[in-house]
Structure 1
């Protein structure tokens, strides 16, 4: 009788089941410092208590993606330990700021199942919710992942596909209590551009690039307690490469977007996301954004900007996303559609 966890396979899931994930994680300033060492993150709201206080918050919240990665990492042993690939995200909402000292835990509900035609894998959709030590929900999102079957001849779970919202409406976004941008300090934030300075359809080249290496992406993935084998074990893939965690690409691209979007301070929602092509050590990540929509919120001086954030490998054509047949261009790593809060 084995006591080790070999992870779930596709036939182990059932529609509607709720999975409570181990292990609770108390976050500290250490996570913030390490995050800023791993990525060129410079948004003022998550960097300075004084800046956050001037915007109506009691202290600087932890970077939104620290929260995302921490909650995501909790789910890996139960959802994607035996994954072939993490396929996408939808309906993500950041519900409450997280600060050093908060303890996060996670649960997921299976909301969709579909066996692939090859009979060896299937796709699992889950809605994951992260809560703090008070039971307050801080994050929710849907993701879907391709998971191996333990036995290709085993019966597949009954197929059920979720009905996903294409994009969050502005009124579905949760603005942190007390947030007020009427006295916003653009000099300290790093750029003068406010919501009204961006036009729908505008594309922004974030210019800088970062070459990623195995050591740093494995450190990052361990930081989030993500145990997926493909990120660490070079024998787990036929090509002998360690697959870089998609969240590492998300954080790198979001951090690079500071150059041109310094005032997109807080991520409020994730409408959709796709890891278009794999990323490996030695790839240089660059990023560009497209403005998709804009709206005002009920909070004083606070607007919401909807952005498409694209991460690509060095050498990809500028602003290239798809080929003539509608498939993602080979150099595209990430296509993320999200809402951020910025001064009106």
Structure 2
């Protein structure tokens, strides 16, 4: 048999290392498509000149481009037979991705847990993205619910990895040369600097974007994500195509520009959950909460720990019901670190 049906839950073993196909060289077209799909306009990723005033040789590719490409590499091996991608933790962007870089991905299985229904299980993987020099550009942990191919297959020993609740500020990697001492707030679009944000502050990003079927499929193909639930209407009981969770992440991140225009670089992913499914026709809105603040060793550069919540309606700043569960309008709950000027 020459075709690939994808791995099922019983095909994973603890400690298994998977080198994912296919390496991909990224160039400026990647950015043009990304900025077409999402209302992305952070200045550092839009202008070589702006990036140079911030100490970089030229403008790198958006952080989420690196995330989506690395994530997409893992899908045929990790989540082709997934029911749902459940969450993220311990993510760090270790160096910028530049036009011309070639990215590939490697994952290690660090946890397994069969669900009580005996038909699915949760697979935990630590994924690393590497460039053409074998330098690590990105790492993160994610866990995904995967179908069993043989429901009679024995359940593996349950191992649920212990994951950090937050990436320590001292562990954040600041791009070489980054310097915000000559930061141009006018060109960036907002005057708000690190000191203007208070822990506990909440920001309604006001704007919304309705997701269409064609654009999410275009985006998911762009990242070479082959998960069946995004394309094949027979893969879900209700006949719908599930919007790729990364599409929601990028849309919410782009919407956060209104209020967080100076949160230029994403450098840490503390945790995240796709709380409810997003389908075509949903209108994505976003709000943020400042969870923490830290100074860095780079000149003029501070870090904000932010909660980014994407919703499809409802009142902003409401996350969970009285029962402690996510409200049905909540799509995404993402906890990340971003670099901002002091």
Q: TM-score normalised by the shorter chain: which range applies?
A: over 0.9
Corresponding residue of 2:328: 330
Give the C-alpha shift of residue 161 in structure 1: 1.0
Partner Cα distance (1:73, 1:59) in 2: 26
Q: Aligned pair 1:248/2:253, yes or no?
A: no
Aligned to 2:44: 45
Provide the rounded CA distance (Å) in 2 between the counterparts of 1:105 and 1:237.
30
Matched, 1:312 2:306: no
Give the Cα–Cα distance (whole angstroms) in 2 for the partners of residues 30 and 158 of structure 1. Answer: 45
What SS does the corresponding residue of 2:243 show, helix, strand or coil?
A: coil
Q: Distance in 1 between matches of 2:50 and 2:284?
A: 29
Alignment of 1:29-40 (within 5 A): 29-40=28-39
**1: CA distance, partners of 2:227 / 2:221:** 10
Q: Shift of residue 107 of structure 1?
A: 0.2
RMSD: 0.5
Q: Secondary structure at the match of 1:60?
A: coil
- Compute the TM-score of the two structures, normalised by the length of structure 1: 0.99
Counterparts of residues 87-236 of structure 1 (less than 5 Å) = 87-236=86-235
| 1:321 has 2:319 as partner | yes
Q: Name the structure 1 match of 2:4.
A: 5
SS in structure 2 at match of 1:193:
coil
The secondary structure found in structure 1 opposite 2:175 is coil
Q: How many angstroms apart in 1 are the aligned matches of 2:205 and 2:288?
A: 8
Aligned length: 342
3-state SS of the aligned residue for 2:187? Answer: helix
Counterparts of 1:340 and 1:37 in 2: how far apart (Å)? 23
- TM-score, with length taken from structure 2: 1.00
Q: Post-superposition shift, 1:158?
A: 1.8
Equivalent in the alignment of 1:86: 85
Q: Aligned pair 1:342/2:337, yes or no?
A: no
Cα distance in 2 between the residues matched to 1:136 and 1:15: 25
SS at match of 2:73: helix
The residue number in structure 1 matching 2:299 is: 300
Q: Which runs of 5+ in 2 are unaligned?
A: none
Q: For residue 157 of structure 1, report the CA deviation from its aligned partner.
A: 1.9
Q: Deviations over 1:64-97 (max 9, x none)?
A: 0000000000000000000000000000000000
Deviation at 1:319, TM superposition (A): 1.1
Q: Is it true that 1:289 corresponds to 2:307 in the alignment?
A: no
- Residue deviations 1:255-292 (CA, integer Å, cap 9, x gap): 00000000000001000000000000000000000000
Taking the aligned partners of 1:55 and 1:341, their CA distance within structure 2 comes to: 12
- CA distance in structure 1 between the aligned counterparts of 2:156 and 2:35, rounded to whole angstroms: 42
Distance 1:17 1:232 in 2: 28
Runs of 4+ in structure 1 off by over 2 angstroms are none
1:58 offset after TM fit, Å?
0.4
Q: How far apart are residue 49 of structure 1 and its match?
A: 0.5
Q: 1:210-265, CA deviations, whole angstroms, 9 ceiling, x for partnerless residues? A: 00011000000000000000000011111010000000000000000000000000
